[in-house]
Amino acid sequence: MGGHKNHYGYHEYRGRGGRGRGRTVLLFIIALLLLLLAAGAAFYAMVDLEYTDTGVKINWRGSQASQSPPPIASDPLEIVTGPVDVTVEPTEDVNPTPTPEPEYQPIAAVTVTTDQLRGGSAAQAVAAAGGNALVVEMKNVNGYLAWQSQASLAATMGTNAADNLAAQAVQTLAQTTDLYLVAKIQCFRDPLLATNRIGSLMTRGGNVWHDLQGMGWSSPANQQAADYLSTLCLELADMGFDEILLDQAGYPNFGEVNVLATSDNRPEDLTIPVSAFLERLSGELAQRGVCLGVLTDETLLPGDAVLTGLTSDVLAGHVGRVWLSGSADAQQYSSLLTAAGWGDTAPRVVSKNAPFGGGSWYR
């Protein structure tokens, strides 16, 4: 048996089937490559490849056939909107209609005591004196009240009454009679406020100032004092009073006023804090339909300053009625208040004891 000898000295044997098997393997490889090529061509025919930042995205052709094509730039754009509501703000009237002045009727006021009020004889006393209005002092010169106030300072200073019988009597009169009810209160002449250093008027030497009767005073410029008095007045308005009458509503005008110190509590222009206090209080009471009155005994002269700060301009600007003591000149006040803007002064200037021009009086 012949053969080819290799370099190791052995003969190589080649069988008869070696060449045929090699051809078969080659044909198989060629067929497999053709099959893969055909599959690749079919794959590319069915998909679109989209290259994105996150990789390759495969889109199968025909899967989006049912979707609407995106509008082209030339397609008309239809905008559907709802109804538009347009609100036109009313323009401010440059000439607003002024608020009409309340109509004041003449009053014939009779002063009664809290004992008469509590005992139920107050209305009879007014009728016996020929009056149609009742005046009762609800805060006295010592700072004590005739009712039980809810003001925190009233509890702190111990100014409340022992019971509420006076308040209940006022409510009954307001509901059962036609009497015009006036609550009189001592305003800034208040020794309890002064002793507790609430707006106390001081001497130039640094001591609490006292008037001729030894009474201390608080200041219209002090916020705490103003808040306290405002609370008291509003409680009286809610109780049923038609008018709140302030006695000593400004600065003192008797005693050694020359030694009073100038300070925030008593500035150079006394009308500024007095006017601010009365403006505040009259506005608060007007919301409840209640009048603000001020009792004064000071002589007024046109253009002259007054020690109380209650000038005719201040009174005419913020007060519904001016009540005059026996020493004040009713004719003088009527003239000055008319010049300051009041109309009919007859029902608004309340004179002591005797009527003035058929107007209002009290006793």
Q: Which domains does the chain have, with CATH numbers?
A: 15-60 (no CATH), 108-362 (3.20.20.80)
Res. 101 pLDDT band, cuts 50 70 90 = low
Per-residue pLDDT tens over the stretch 193-232: 999 999 999 999 999 999 999 999 999 999 999 999 999 9
13-17, 72-76, 307-311, 315-319: the lowest-pLDDT one: 13-17
When the pLDDT of each residue in the chain is averaged and rounded to a whole number, the result is 84
pLDDT of residue 15: 43
Average pLDDT over every residue of 165-180: 97
Residue 99 has pLDDT above 60, yes or no: no
For the record, the structure tokens of 108 come out as 């014939």
Between 24 and 264, whose confidence is greater?
A: 264
d(CA 304, CA 103): 30
Side chain identity at 241, as an amino acid letter? F
Average pLDDT of span 227-240: 98
Q: How confident is the model at residue 16 (pLDDT cuts 50, 70, 90)?
A: very low
> Encoding tokens for residue 22?
């090699």
How many whole angstroms separate alpha carbon 4 and alpha carbon 219?
Answer: 140
| Cα separations in angstroms, 303 against 42, 67, 320, 343 | 112, 92, 22, 20
Q: What integer is the mean pLDDT of 234-258?
A: 97
Q: What is the pLDDT of residue 197?
A: 96
Q: What is the structure's pLDDT at 66? A: 45
Question: What mean pLDDT is predicted for residues 339-350?
Answer: 94
Q: Half-sphere exposure of 239 toward its Cβ, with a 13 Å CA cutoff? A: 26
Question: How sure is the predictor about 353, in pLDDT bands with cuts at 50, 70 and 90?
Answer: confident
* Residue given tokens 């009313």 in the structure block: 90
Q: Comparing 209-223, 228-242, 302-316, which segment has the lowest mean pLDDT?
A: 302-316
